[in-house]
Amino acid sequence: MNHTVTQLAKMIDHSILHPTHTDSELQKQCAVARKYNVASVCVKPYAVKQAVQLLKGSDVAVGCVIGFPHGNSSTAVKVFEAERACQDGAVEIDMVINIGKALGGDWEYVEKEIREITDTCHHNHAIVKVIFETDFVTRKDDKIKLCEICTRAGADFIKTSTGYGFVKQPDGSYNYKGATIPDVELMRKHSGPDVRVKCAGGVRTLDDLLKMKAAGATRSGATATEAILDEAARRFGK
């Protein structure tokens, strides 16, 4: 399959989400996003206005995370947070589901929340990406159920992970897997044709991105944007 750097860049949501990021880091990373002309930046709620200004005149959209990273805010707070982000200039919203409710099988709650936030985003002319957090939601049946719910609710994207779904390991340390090929394939298979798939967490190389694309992802969160696209330029030419 032929690839171009431009096509691959427009798969990437450049993530600027680490808790330690300062305003100067936001400026630096927005400059990276502008230079490589990626699809969007994904920023924390307080940074939306600044990101909009930093990317003014570019073709890079501003996205914002909601209920990030663990999805534990009440539905009303998530709706308010989404609405405020849209008012501040975000045109893409990445929301985290209520993970505990999903694991407990309270699908009515989960669907109602996703639908309310989706409706709020669409009313404000923004697209919505629903994050499953597959490091925590590990049962296949639960992931399939979430695909079906998001399809009914009209979500624009379903997304694997936050990149912050840290699980305690046997040695006491914390780590995460993030996006996997089987999860992307499952999400593509069980969601409707109008729902796109975004992978996130652990996509650090060009080969990672190409494998996710082949599995059905059309967007990818990334912090290693420069390394990925520089390698694409070397491999495929400008």
| Active site members | 94, 159, 198
Q: Among candidates 106, 33, 98, 26, which has minimal Cα distance to 68?
A: 98
Beta bridge partners of 96: 131
Which residue in the block uniquely carries the two structure tokens 């209920």?
67
| CB crowding 164-183: b at 16 or more within 10 Å, else e | bbeeeeeeeeeebebbbeeb
Q: Are 154 and 122 in contact (CB under 8 A)?
A: yes
* Helix (H) or strand (E) run with residue 74 in it: none
Q: Map residue 131 onto helix, strand or coil.
A: strand
